[in-house]
Amino acid sequence: MSKGTKYLAKEPDENGFIHYSDDEHDTWKQLYARQEVNLPGRACKEYLEGIEKLKMPKDRIPQLSEIDKVLQETTGWKTAPVPALISFGRFFELLATKQFPVATFIRSKDEFDYLQEPDIFHEIFGHCPLLTNPSFANFSHTYGKLGLAATKEERVFLARLYWFTVEFGLMKSNSGDLSIYGGGILSSPGETMYATGSEPELQPFDLLSVLRTPYRIDIMQPIYYLIESMDYLDEIVKMDIMGAVKQARQLGLFEPKFEPKAKAS
């Protein structure tokens, strides 16, 4: 859903197979190896359970059919290969039909630590493990249906809900343990360490506050919102999300916690 990209997604061949170069497979291998070290003790247990279920290869980029087999068996989801850029409408349409969009390119090594646009490592390694979890899968499905029915103006506010949960969500259990469930963090070696460090501001999840919080895609996040457990996503689904969107539009956005930029969200 980013507005500009230097990357070009790869097209599947007539058998649905996507061909990658040795160098692209090597990028996957390096990213996987680094996050395999970073994530234990930082990623939430549901994510680590999903990694076990998917059993994705560590030394090559997986084919989408390999991922689909496990997702279909666990929650009825599947992936959908997409270009590097898709519209909000297409994005919501896919989620509403239990299809997770996967941009079929992988980042260059000079953007190893942090990437603005979602690549296949971000989508597959960052998000797909949690799509084996019923609460996360149901939240994503409900979100897609809401977005599909929303106006253009409402979708801008809904984007913040996705950003601060599915992309950059953190979890803090009753015992005080902090863990990651947002795919934008889980797939970023740089943000994994930053988000669980002492620098960012952490706030308990509040729907209205989330909808009113500006963000930028090209920086480490200055603020993260905490849920108590994966089950809390089921509670968010039961909230009057569109009512909160209406209220957030009336109240307006909070002051940004970052330097201004012309194209900030």
Tokens describing residue 65: 């059919």
**Residue 144: which of 207, 184, 212, 89 has the closest Cα?**
89
> CB neighbours of 13 closer than 8 A, spacing ≥ 6?
19
User: Which residue in 24, 123, 127, 135 is the catalytic one?
Assistant: 127
Alpha-carbon torsion, ordered 225, 204, 252, 213, to 10 deg:
-20
**265 labelled catalytic:** no
**Distance (Å) of CA 77 to CA 12, 15, 252:** 19, 21, 35
**Distance (Å) of CA 144 to CA 60, 96, 135, 238:** 30, 4, 14, 15
User: Which residue in 24, 93, 122, 141 is the catalytic one?
Assistant: 122
**167 labelled catalytic:** yes
Burial of 92 (0-12, 13-18, 19+ CB in 10 A): buried
**Residue 76: which of 126, 131, 135, 136 has the closest Cα?**
131
In terms of DSSP bridges, do strands 170-172 and 178-180 run parallel, antiparallel, or are they unpaired? antiparallel
**229 labelled catalytic:** no
User: Which residue in 46, 117, 154, 167 is the catalytic one?
Assistant: 167
Position 195: which residue type? A
**19 labelled catalytic:** no
User: Which residue in 135, 140, 179, 187 is the catalytic one?
Assistant: 187
Please give the positions annotated as active site: 122, 127, 167, 187
